[in-house]
Amino acid sequence: MDTREALGSWIDGPKAAAEKMGADFGYRGERLGLPREGSGSLAGPGRRIGALFVDGWLVALIAYGLVSGGVPGKANLWTTPIFFLVAVLLLATTGSTMGKRLFGLRVIRLDGRRAGIPQVMLRTLLLCLVVPALVWDRDTRGLHDKAVGTVEVRI
């Protein structure tokens, strides 16, 4: 085997090369004990990003229309704090925000129970910092979820 196959091509990446050599990584969420598909399975990145955009749009609308009185500069200042408050309130009580509900998602702890208020607050704070949410593991769980022991699953 030549070195290029062991490292993977720049298009396929090292995971594809390892799979060609016989490594079995399983499906996303298998290490967490989640089903492959259907209710309770790990939410895909597309759904999660879509839900985040819906939540961000709704919060920006609230900040612009209700809080800042239509002043864009003020609305920009209020968007992140309102997002934090809305996300913490909704995730701590129902397990999903408006965008997550629209996309059929819920945030739960790894043991299947609803996440507590401290977990939700830290998760949302890390999500507002953006960078922890952009770093994923092979199950596509962001660092903001890994830090607090939560996972985003399909309803």
Predicted pLDDT of residue 99 = 97
* pLDDT at residue 97 greater than cutoff 90: yes
Predicted pLDDT of residue 19 = 66
Predicted pLDDT of residue 81 = 96
**Local structure of 109: helix, strand or coil:** strand
Region 46-65: mean pLDDT is 95
Region 110-117: mean pLDDT is 93
- For residue 90, give the amino acid letter: L
* pLDDT at residue 34 greater than cutoff 70: yes
Pairs from 53-56 (Cβ < 8 Å, separation ≥ 24): 53/99, 54/98, 54/99, 54/102, 54/103, 55/83, 55/86, 55/87, 55/97, 55/98, 55/99, 55/100, 56/83, 56/99
Predicted pLDDT of residue 3 = 59
Region 17-41: mean pLDDT is 79
Share of the chain above pLDDT 70, in %: 85
| Structure tokens, 90 | 């909704």
What is the spatial distance between Cα 76 and Cα 62, in angstroms, rounded to a whole number? Answer: 11
Predicted pLDDT of residue 24 = 65
Predicted pLDDT of residue 15 = 67
* Strand intervals (E) in 30-141: 105-109
Summarised one tens digit per residue, pLDDT across range 124-151 is 999 999 988 889 888 889 999 999 999 9
What is the spatial distance between Cα 144 and Cα 149, in angstroms, rounded to a whole number? Answer: 9
Element of type H or E holding 152:
strand 150-154
CA 137 to chain centre: 12
Q: Which of 28-32, 39-43, 55-59 has the lowest mean pLDDT?
A: 28-32
